[in-house]
Amino acid sequence: MSQTVPVQPVQTAVNRKDEYESKASNIIRKYTLASTGAGLIPVLGLDVAAAATSQVFMIRELADLYSVRHEDKIQQVAVTSAMGSAVARAVTFAVSSFLPGSGGTSVLANAAVSGIYTATVGEFYKLHFRDGGTLDDVNITDLSNYFIDEFKRGDISMSTFTNPSKLVSYLF
């Protein structure tokens, strides 16, 4: 039976640094770039698979950095990443309707959503692993709450998607 890891208030946890902060940020940045690039693939399904693959590699690398066992959970991570990437792709449809002149789904909007989703997932796993969490006790509800907190804090907003400089500053 898995044990729940106590969670600090999100902003307190986000502001606290650890000895692996720089390495973790580099890992997240690398796979955010890969996932953003995957979002530029104009083939529905292939873009989702490529983004999900980059997330699996990112989570595996973060797990290695924080000495979290992952060998027997990588399939679970892959399924969760694929589902999350598919939802992010669906969000692209909603976001693109707000972009001027997009006329539907924009490849650039897909790249933005893919990158933002991957960066946020990476930050969530970094905090989870840093605070002693494992892949056994990671909770999809906690991940959802983390996304909601990102919106509430204003870290992610419609301008993140529509303003190129805000997007770049969020991603990097």
Structural domain spans, the chain? 20-171
Position 127 pLDDT exceeds 90: yes
What is d(CA 21, CA 7) in angstroms, rounded to the nearest whole number? 18
Which pLDDT does position 104 carry in this prediction? 46
Least confidently predicted of 7-11, 29-33, 115-119: 7-11
Which pLDDT does position 133 carry in this prediction? 94
Position 158 pLDDT exceeds 70: no
Average pLDDT, the chain: 82
Q: Using 50, 70 and 90 to split pLDDT, how confident is the model at 135?
A: very high
Which pLDDT does position 166 carry in this prediction? 61
What is d(CA 30, CA 108) in angstroms, rounded to the nearest whole number? 19
At 109, list the tokens: 């909007």
The pTM (predicted TM-score) of the whole model is 0.79
What is d(CA 57, CA 34) in angstroms, rounded to the nearest whole number? 10
Which helix H or strand E contains 147, and what residues bound it? helix 140-153
Nearest to 63 by CA among 133, 10, 113: 133
Position 103 pLDDT exceeds 90: no
- Residues 125-129 have a mean pLDDT of 95
Position 170 pLDDT exceeds 70: no
